[in-house]
Amino acid sequence: MTTPLPRLLLDVDGPLNPYAAKPHQRPAGYGTHRVKPDSWVARFPQRPAEYVRPLRLWINPDHGPELLSLPYELVWATTWMAEANTWIAPLLGLPELPYVAWPQLHQEDPDGLHWKTRALVAWAAGRPFVWVDDELGPQDAAWIADHHPGRALALHVDPKLGLRGGDFATLREWAAAA
Ligand SMILES: [Mg+2]
């Protein structure tokens, strides 16, 4: 019997798109893309779609092959949901990936957890996972440790920097330690 691979639950804005880097200095290795996903256009209901300014994305095309080389099953865990497959995956050379369909976006949590935390633990249903996100905090890691019966890691990524070599090393080590 083969053990299923752990899942790598990927946030987009922060880890893959370091949106908080200096605005006029594209981070090394990244390409600039300007996109207009439907969910972005919908944020400006008072404006006709053609007048909505595109969303700027910085994407590092090396991240796709690097993610695919990891011993994980890749899953989108982002507000982009299905749009990550339309707009982000092709820029990284990733195939269509499963995604977490959130019950509700940005829902305030009674215990101050990140709005994704409980949903991810429910979604994982006991299977090992690493969650990569720029917004998670120590309280999320602690809550996951208490409520998720399998192995889990909450890996914080600085949205000024995006995923870096050290993060990929951490992901490999964590998978190897199983
Ligand atoms: Mg984010």
Tell me how far the alpha carbon of residue 12 lies from the centroid of ligand 1, in angstroms: 6
Q: What is the pTM of this model?
A: 0.95
Tell me how far the alpha carbon of residue 1 lies from the centroid of ligand 1, in angstroms: 36
Domain range annotation of the chain: 7-16+61-176
How does pLDDT run along the chain (178 residues), one tens digit per residue? 577 899 999 999 999 999 999 878 888 999 999 999 999 999 999 999 899 999 999 999 999 999 999 999 999 999 999 999 999 999 999 999 999 999 888 999 999 999 999 999 999 999 999 999 999 999 999 999 999 999 999 999 999 999 999 999 999 999 999 8
Tell me how far the alpha carbon of residue 8 lies from the centroid of ligand 1, in angstroms: 15
Tell me how far the alpha carbon of residue 80 lies from the centroid of ligand 1, in angstroms: 10
Angle at 30 between CA 14 and CA 117, to 5 degrees: 15
Tell me how far the alpha carbon of residue 11 lies from the centroid of ligand 1, in angstroms: 5
Tell me how far the alpha carbon of residue 137 lies from the centroid of ligand 1, in angstroms: 12
Fold for the domain defined by 7-16+61-176: Rossmann fold (3.40.50)
Tell me how far the alpha carbon of residue 49 lies from the centroid of ligand 1, in angstroms: 24
